[in-house]
Amino acid sequence: MAVRTLAREHLAVDVLAAARLLLGCLVVADRPDGQVVVRLVELEAYRGSDDPAAHSYRGRTARNAVMFGPPGHLYVYFVYGLHFCANISCLPDGEPGAVLLRGAEVVSDLVTARLARPTARSDADLARGPARLATLLGLRREHNGLDLTDPTSPVRLLPGDPIAAEQVRTGPRVGVAAAQDRPWRFWVAGSPAVSAYRRRPNPARTRRR
């Protein structure tokens, strides 16, 4: 596959525009057991300046520094002590924002993908959900900060076929405790790799009286 990475300036935009742009884009990962290529079909936007659900909402730390730019870099973090999740930084350099990779369809050799995710029950499950997607691509803490726009990077972001407006859906983000009703999740209608929506319970409403 010819390497023509997405230009960095295309991601130096607001998180909502970046999430819409990234639908249909390809992520190529060079794993030790072979190359895996996925088509992004579900994403969530997080804007640090006014978004209490964003890791960068309370300011810059060693953990969230990638969210502050430059755009086009991988922000990888460990969650719940169980698995990794991956984001792509966006907005102009210095402004915190990122788009979470929530779901993707495998468009490369399925045998190689199955080696990476042997417990997947179906092809649609290979990269449905942020943890499964990160596992499939082999993303771990050492990949935090990788430049996806660099053609020599082991993980690269490539333009894909544009998604028609009538195929794009938006709705609340999944599993966040704050600002969970914002329609900042974007997905491709009809894709089997899109995760089911589950609203996170509000602790204040579920607390025993």
pTM for the predicted model, two decimal places: 0.91
The architecture CATH gives domain 8-193: Roll (3.10)
Q: Which residue has the tokens 């405790």?
A: 177
All residues at 6 or more sequence positions from 187 whose CB lies less than 8 Å from its CB, including other chains: 23, 41, 42, 43, 102, 103, 168, 169, 170, 171, 194
Q: What pLDDT, in 10s, does the model give residues 109-141? A: 999 999 999 999 999 999 999 999 999 999 999
- Predicted local distance difference test score (pLDDT) of residue 200: 60
Q: Hey, which bits of 48-82 come out as E strands?
A: 74-79
- Predicted local distance difference test score (pLDDT) of residue 3: 64
Between CA 202 and CA 168 the distance in angstroms is 28
